[in-house]
Amino acid sequence: MEFRFTPMAEADAQAIRAWCYDPPYTTYNAADEEPAGFDAMAELLDPRSPHFAARLVSGAAWEREPPAGFFAFGSACEVGSEPEAPAAPHLHRADGSMTIGLGLRPDLTGRGLGLPFVEAGMTLARERYHPTLFRLFVYAWNQRAITVYERAGFTAVGRAGAPGGDGQPAFIEMTRLP
Ligand SMILES: CC(C)(COP(=O)(O)OP(=O)(O)OC[C@H]1O[C@@H](n2cnc3c(N)ncnc32)[C@H](O)[C@@H]1OP(=O)(O)O)[C@@H](O)C(=O)NCCC(=O)NCCS
């Protein structure tokens, strides 16, 4: 199975924003996530912290298939305030590290596609952006995602974000060398 990535187009962004995850993953539904006044379409299409649509290559017409997932790179994927954060959207932190975000289409989750998807996105990022370190933030309750990230070589390095139900920051920060 092969994933291919294209810079996020408006139609892809609209399709991805309509995705609807089942519980307990509803927090990843676009409408659940966005604070009032936040322009999510603008963020998805902003090349300064770029988003890519992913498609599964299955025959010659793969480009006409709906997105199978997305990857995002840079400040759009940060949780809380990064050290010495510049105001404008950006790709790398000052130390050359890069934060990533991702999602498989709801009907493709839970089928073992996560690991090849994560590896394909990191290959894209390595080749295009040459980060010194990969970082991601994942909800501490999302064991399915954490399992995939650990299998991809990420390790937990701390917590971040506003406190969750247990009083601890809601996100686990994980990193991996490129
Ligand atoms: C996170 C994501 C990439 C994971 O990929 P996936 O293909 O769905 O994951 P998998 O099906 O490979 O499952 C990974 C492992 O977690 C296990 N798992 C699934 N649900 C679980 C749960 N509730 N608790 C513990 N383990 C669970 C699976 O059994 C599997 O382990 P196994 O291979 O030993 O059976 C994908 O689900 C996704 O993109 N989801 C979108 C929403 C989301 O969670 N985003 C995370 C953003 S940080």
Would residue 42 count as lying in a domain? yes
Would residue 39 count as lying in a domain? yes
Buried b (16+ CB within 10 A) or exposed e, 28-41: bbeeeeeeeeeebe
> In the sheet that 69-73 helps form, which strands lie side by side, from edge to edge?
3-7, 51-56, 69-73, 98-104, 134-139, 169-176, 155-163
Q: What pLDDT score does 34 carry?
A: 74
Which residues form the domain of 58? 3-131
| pLDDT tens digit sequence for 97-114 | 999 999 999 999 999 999
Distances (CA, A) of 87 to 7, 55, 61, 96: 23, 32, 40, 17
3-class secondary structure, 63: helix
Cα(157) to ligand 1 centroid in Å equals 20
Mutate to test the pocket of ligand 1, among 73, 137, 147 (most ligand atoms within 8 A of CB): 147
The answer to whether the CB of 23 is under 6 A from ligand 1 is no
Would residue 175 count as lying in a domain? no
Would residue 167 count as lying in a domain? no
Q: pTM value?
A: 0.96
Per-residue pLDDT band at 33 (split at 50, 70, 90): low
Would residue 124 count as lying in a domain? yes
| pLDDT tens digit sequence for 36-72 | 778 899 999 999 999 999 999 987 888 889 999 999 9
Distances (CA, A) of 49 to 77, 102, 145, 148, 150: 9, 13, 22, 24, 25
CATH number of the domain bearing residue 89: 3.40.630
Would residue 138 count as lying in a domain? no
Q: How many domains does the chain have?
A: 1
Would residue 54 count as lying in a domain? yes
Would residue 52 count as lying in a domain? yes
Atom of ligand 1 nearest to the CA of 145: 1
Q: What pLDDT score does 60 carry?
A: 81
Nearest in space to 50 (alpha carbons), one of 95, 93, 89: 89
The answer to whether the CB of 16 is under 6 A from ligand 1 is no
